[in-house]
Structure 1
Amino acid sequence: MTDYTIGRAAEELGVTARTLRHWDEIGLLSPGWRTETGDYRLYTDADLDRGLDILIYRRAGVPLRDIAVLLAEPGDRRDRLLTQRELLVRRIGHLHRMVRAVDSILEGDTVTMQDKKAIFGEHYPDWQAEAEERWGDTGDWSHARDSMKTMDAEGFRRVKAETDAFAAALVDARDRGVAPGDSEADALVGRHAAMVDTFYPCTRAKQILLARMYAADGRFVAYTGDAADYLVELVEAKARAEGIDPDTVAWE
């Protein structure tokens, strides 16, 4: 049996030591041994196998909270690998559908509703209709609608790519324990605000309310990975640093 320090274990798994500490804090992966003096905690081969399972689930888009449940289910490693394979096949199928949709857009450079459904999900028309009903009489919705009307195929591809990249960065920062108020956290807040600005002016108050809406509505999971609550923490911390009380904000 081989024992690994946290630095060596992080290197073997291709993650940071900060990520391993976060997994330890939430009880997802804790080192199985301590040195005789108790000064250092060491990872075992079995721990690294569990770490690899976690990474596979994450690459398949499974939230950390759900990974803990999956790993606790009865069954051996083969059972877990079969589950992981099924998840990865689904992920690959989704990516193939996205590629086909982008290819069709490239061929005609015309963005149809079918294209949008393939890229943003089958529920895109429902979300659009709901947004129209809830905010159709507001200036911001009018601004967003005009922005989308002028957006060509490349623009929609860019929005989707930016959304996916932001969600991945947000989840990564959360998993690494980046604290609200850190420069990296503030950069993510600015990145999110810039994305909203693509459609309508985003004040800090609006951003707080949007982040809270993401956290309250499970349909926005894909937009923020599984880190909607974390985004709320980052945006509210940024607001407080700017002298804004998050408890008193209103859409303005």
Structure 2
Amino acid sequence: MTDYTIGRAAEELGVTARTLRHWDEIGLLSPGWRTTTGDYRLYTDADLDRGLDILIYRRAGVPLRDIADLLTEPGSRRDRLLTQRELLVQRIGHLHRMVRAVDSILEGDTVTMQDKKAIFGEDFPHHQAEAEERWGDTEDWAHARDAMTAMAADDFRRVKAETGAFAGALVAARDRGVAPGSVEADALVERHAMLVATFYPCSRAKQIILARMYAADDRYAGYTGDAADYLVELVEAKARAEGVDPETVTWG
């Protein structure tokens, strides 16, 4: 096992010693070893692995306050790496959309509210205003606003098409009796999570709350067909398999 002083650990991770001290202060990454005299706290190889995980999450746009929860979720390091890969892919997609949006502006092809109404329906402005009133002060709303700003008209059409295709697949799975917790059911859960992640990070807890919201409000029928209750079953089953209690979830 190799021990690292704060200076060397900072150098290995490509951050400043001040950053490591801040992570220590907020309980995100603390040195796991002390010298025999107790005068110095040293970082271990395992600490540096955790530091690398933190950096990957940060590069993917995850707030520091959420990273601690991600690092303590049940699962192996491979599971965490798969989660990190998914977040990075989402980040890459977001950056590509931003580039396309800039290109559209340069070409004079901006997305107007009329375009959005034509794609999502005349009620789109009302739904957007209601969402802003409920969540306008949250980080997820900021993510969603930035994502929509970066989207060109073709992106909005793609999201609508993917949402419709998902709703059709969900209804078909329910009608065929696909069991919650099965491979096919879990794939549908991940497909829904990726749709949500187009706009903001989607944890399993958030996904449960969203699915329940769909089931409680007929205005969201377009997201799930008439299978919102079935989506709740699928998401909650996957959450339980991952060690998340659907009865205690909160947004965040």
Q: Deviations over 1:12-35 (max 9, x none)?
A: xxxxxxxxxxxxxxxxxxxxxxxx
Matched residue, 1:77: none
Offset of residue 174 of structure 1: 0.7
Q: Deviations over 1:73-129 (max 9, x none)?
A: xxxxxxxxxxxxxxxxxxxxxxxxxxxxxxxx9x97432211211211111100000
Instruction: Please say if residues 115 and 153 of structure 2, whose CA atoms lie closer than 8 Å, have aligned partners that are also in contact.
Output: no
Matched residue, 1:204: 204
Matched residue, 1:141: 141
CA distance in 2, matches of 1:120, 1:154: 13
What's the TM-score, normalizing by structure 2?
A: 0.57
Matched residue type, 1:170? L
**Match runs of 1:49-128 below 5 Å:** 109-128=109-128
Q: 2:162 matched to 1:166?
A: no
| Aligned residues between the structures | 147
Matched residue, 2:222: 222
Instruction: Please say if residues 211 and 228 of structure 2, whose CA atoms lie closer than 8 Å, have aligned partners that are also in contact.
Output: yes
Q: Deviations over 1:50-81 (max 9, x none)?
A: xxxxxxxxxxxxxxxxxxxxxxxxxxxxxxxx
Q: Which runs of 5+ in 1 are unaligned?
A: 1-104
CA distance in 2, matches of 1:233, 1:108: 45
Q: Partner of 2:212: helix, strand, or coil?
A: helix
CA distance in 2, matches of 1:223, 1:246: 21
CA distance in 1, matches of 2:222, 2:202: 21
Identity percentage over the alignment? 78
Instruction: Please say if residues 212 and 232 of structure 2, whose CA atoms lie closer than 8 Å, have aligned partners that are also in contact.
Output: yes
CA distance in 1, matches of 2:250, 2:143: 19
Q: 2:156 matched to 1:156?
A: yes
CA distance in 2, matches of 1:221, 1:197: 19
Matched residue, 1:11: none
Q: Partner of 2:122: helix, strand, or coil?
A: coil
CA distance in 1, matches of 2:112, 2:123: 15
Question: Residues 222 and 108 from structure 1, CA distance in 2 versus in 1: closer, same or farther, beyond 3 angstroms?
Answer: farther
CA distance in 2, matches of 1:108, 1:114: 16
What's the TM-score, normalizing by structure 1?
A: 0.57
Q: Partner of 2:180: helix, strand, or coil?
A: coil
RMSD, aligned α-carbons:
1.6
Matched residue type, 1:147? A
CA distance in 1, matches of 2:128, 2:183: 34
Q: Partner of 2:181: helix, strand, or coil?
A: coil
Matched residue, 2:192: 192
Q: Partner of 1:231: helix, strand, or coil?
A: helix
CA distance in 1, matches of 2:145, 2:203: 18
Matched residue type, 2:247? D
Matched residue type, 2:222? A
Offset of residue 243 of structure 1: 1.0
Matched residue, 1:176: 176
CA distance in 2, matches of 1:176, 1:119: 30
Q: 2:246 matched to 1:242?
A: no
Matched residue, 1:26: none
Q: Which runs of 5+ in 2 are unaligned?
A: 1-103
Q: Partner of 2:148: helix, strand, or coil?
A: helix
CA distance in 1, matches of 2:108, 2:140: 30
Instruction: Please say if residues 180 and 186 of structure 2, whose CA atoms lie closer than 8 Å, have aligned partners that are also in contact.
Output: yes
Matched residue type, 1:213? M
